[in-house]
Amino acid sequence: MSENYQVIVIGSGPAGYVAAIRCAQLGMKTACVEKWVDDKGAIKLGGTCLNVGCIPSKALLDSSHKYVEAKHDFDIHGISVGSIEMDVAKMLARKDKIVTQLTGGIGGLFKANGVDSIIGTGKVLANKQVEVTNAAGEQVIYQAENIIIAAGSVPVEIPPAPLIDDVVVDSTGALEFSEVPKRLGVIGAGVIGLELGSVWARLGAEVTVLEALDDFLPAADMAIAKETKKVLKKQGLDIRLGTRVTATEVVGKGKARTVNVEYSDAEGTKKESFDKLIVCVGRRPLSENLLAADCGVNLDERGFVFVNEQCQTDARDIYAVGDIVRGPMLAHKGSEEGVMVAERIAGKKTQINYDNIPGVIYTSPEIAWVGKNEQELKASGQDYNVGIFPFAASGRALAANETTGMVKIIADATTDRVLGCHIIGPSAADLVQQVVIAIEFGASSEDLALTVFSHPTLSEAVHEAALAVAGHAIHIPNRPARKKKK
């Protein structure tokens, strides 16, 4: 038996490292177990998000966006430049530097807050013990008073498209292409597929997205999803819905290798050939070999750790947070769960409003939403009002040459309480946060409409959409008011 801890956290992603830091801040002796190490054997904190997910993908999205701006959009500003080229190796090096800086920063935060790092793979045993196995297969058992499971998730693999070297890859491999593929296939039109497809399309790849579902972005509001598909198609993404991949075959040798993809759609069986193929059909919880049979923690039918609304498992003093539990696989959702659990262990009554978690897709323009969408409200029979304001009518958006998209706010027809906000446009990820706060405090669309927004800003589009809910928008003609149900 090794050292005892008040709290042991398994996993150092956004859910785990935040939970560990907050536990330590609350005066608890805390350790965080992480199996990832670098090529020198040093611990790599940050989980999928910082190492091979949110952060590196956003670095590439930003670099590729600036490339497109320089190549196609500077001229409208009166800026003339010479030949524009992308140095892929330098772009990847910048991405790696950002990852190193942030993951190293977590190590600094652990040190500052007194969190111990333990290298190895964690497993929950009976009696609140954690078994940690290092790379050499050596095992050490730690005793905890409380355990927080934050083991995260991994990409889903599908039998028709097994991963093969750097030709058929998952989202991690798609961050490491050494050159721009001429033809790129993407299986899955979800958040990851659209973001990674956008990166390489901007750099010159011919991108084909194969999506098995008949609906595009079904989690988003239909009006936003429709606009998004139109915009991405204009940017060069060939999005094919209702296409199910049935087989793949890698042919050729060396750099001449390509992958033949067979898929079926409404017209029958078809084939395409790509230089690279990205498989991004979702993620699954990383729960294999995580729990001893007698530890008291249970999994649901999909492999998620079963928890209640406070992230408590079926075992006393054992919690689970982040991608390993129910709900959207979002870093910010996991982080807030980590804080909630830490504070509940400390005796506080912290809660999370799971109905008010924003979603974001970092394409260009960005897509963001929070709360209910129109199709959900129609299905429930709830009466509502809608206000829409296009960025084409925003002075700030016009000045920045970023006029694509809109802000859509939905409010209850009787109480006027804001029910949802859906945005496609510049800085959508940041703008939606204003409505997240409004929903959290139970604000009405009138509350937003009566709030003073600085001018000229993109956020004025949120203000005008709120005004439009009641037909009071100033800078666009107002739509006829919806008739309320009797």
Give the angle subtended at the CA of 283 by the CAs of 210 and 406, to the nearest 5°: 65
CB 449 within 8 A of CB 467: yes
* Distance, CA of 327 to CA of 67 (rounded, Å): 35
Nearest to 5 by CA among 129, 180, 139: 129
**In angstroms, rounded to a whole number, what is the distance separating the alpha carbons of residues 6 and 29?**
5
> Which entry of 455, 463, 472, 475 is annotated as an active-site residue?
455
436 within 8 A of 370, measured Cβ to Cβ: yes
Q: What is the 3-state secondary structure (H, E, C) of the chain?
A: CCCEEEEEEECCCHHHHHHHHHHHHCCCCEEEEECCECCCCCECCCHHHHHHCHHHHHHHHHHHHHHHHHHHHCHHHCCCCCCCCCCHHHHHHHHHHHHHHHHHHHHHHHHHHCCEEEECEEEECHHHEEEEECCCCCEEEEEEEEEEECCCEEECCCCCCCCECCCEECCCHHHCCCCCCCEEEEECCCHHHHHHHHHHHHCCCEEEEEECCCCCCCCCCHHHHHHHHHHHHHCCEEEEECCEEEEEEEECCHHHCEEEEEEEECCEEEEEEECEEEECCCEEECCCCCECCCCCCCECCCCCECCCCCCECCCCCEEECHHHCCCCCCHHHHHHHHHHHHHHHCCCCCCCCCCCCCEEECCCCEEEEEECCHHHHHHHCCCEEEEEEEHHHCHHHHHCCCCCCEEEEEEECCCCEEEEEEEEECCHHHHHHHHHHHHHCCCEHHHHHCCCCCCCCCCHHHHHHHHHHCCCCCCCCCCCCCCCCC
Angle at 361 between CA 360 and CA 367, to 5 degrees: 75
Q: Return all residues near 454 (Cβ < 8 A) that are at least 6 apart.
A: 460
Nearest to 341 by CA among 332, 331, 330, 352: 352
Give whole-number Cα distances, 328 to 79, 322, 354, 439, in Å: 43, 9, 10, 19
Asked if 472 is an active-site residue, the reply is no
Provide the annotated active-site residues: 455
